[in-house]
Amino acid sequence: MKRTHRLLLTVALAVCWLSAADGPDQILHDDLLANMAGAWKLTGAIRGRSAEHSVDARWVLNHQFLQIEEDGGPSYQALVMVGYDHTSERYVAHWMDVYGGRFSETLGFGVRSGDQIEFVFEYPDGPFHTIFRWLPDKREWQWLMKAKDPATKDPAKRWTDFANVRLAKAGR
């Protein structure tokens, strides 16, 4: 009987601790991500081709996520939800786009270092890195994306550029 009470107390305390770390009362206030809220013009190279997209980011779901909508016309659209897991002390990104459910099932986990967050997505065809880098002097964002090519034997060439784009405030 004592053992059961101790177990129940331990479980109850763990649930209370976890709910304090994350949940509706733990609003995400992130000084870096706050810079991304708003309307942006994305320009640069994606898969070696020139790209120009519109991006709109705003806080949603009780300020738990920054929702990023990327619109590159009918050929590319994405909805990205970026949040923070207080328990694991890492960012999380849900990247959903026109490529469908297979590639949207993978969560990206990110770590902040200074003015950037590096996300790692473990996709079915190999890992993918996405870096959101804030450039405070220009008040712009740089997004760098790299894919790992498992067929490449040379470690120096194993990671290939997927995208290198800049986001400038729309209307500038």
What is the DSSP secondary-structure string of 92-107? EEEEEETT-HHHHSPE
Question: Is residue 6 one of the residues assigned to a domain?
Answer: no
Lowest mean per-residue pLDDT among 6-10, 37-41, 88-92: 6-10
Query: Is residue 13 one of the residues assigned to a domain?
Result: no
Please state the separation of Cα 69 from the chain's center in Å: 12
Q: Which helix (H) or strand (E) holds 2?
A: helix 2-21
Is residue 16 in a domain?
Answer: no
C-alpha distances (whole Å) from 94 to each of 68, 71, 121, 136 are 10, 16, 10, 25
Give the domain range for residue 57.
28-169
Residue 16 pLDDT class (50, 70, 90 cuts) = very low
- CA Rg, the chain, in Å? 19
- Residue 8 maps to a domain: no
Number of domains, the chain: 1
21 against 53, higher pLDDT: 53
- CATH number for 46: 2.40.128.20
User: Is position 10 within any domain?
Assistant: no
In a domain, 142, yes or no: yes
Tokens 């659209």: give the residue: 77
Place 12 in a pLDDT band, splitting at 50, 70 and 90: very low
Residue 128 pLDDT exceeds 50: yes
List, for residues 79-123, the tens digit of each pLDDT value. Answer: 999 999 999 999 999 999 887 876 677 899 999 999 999 999 998
> Is the residue at 66 inside a domain?
yes
66 confidence band (pLDDT: 50, 70, 90):
very high
In a domain, 134, yes or no: yes
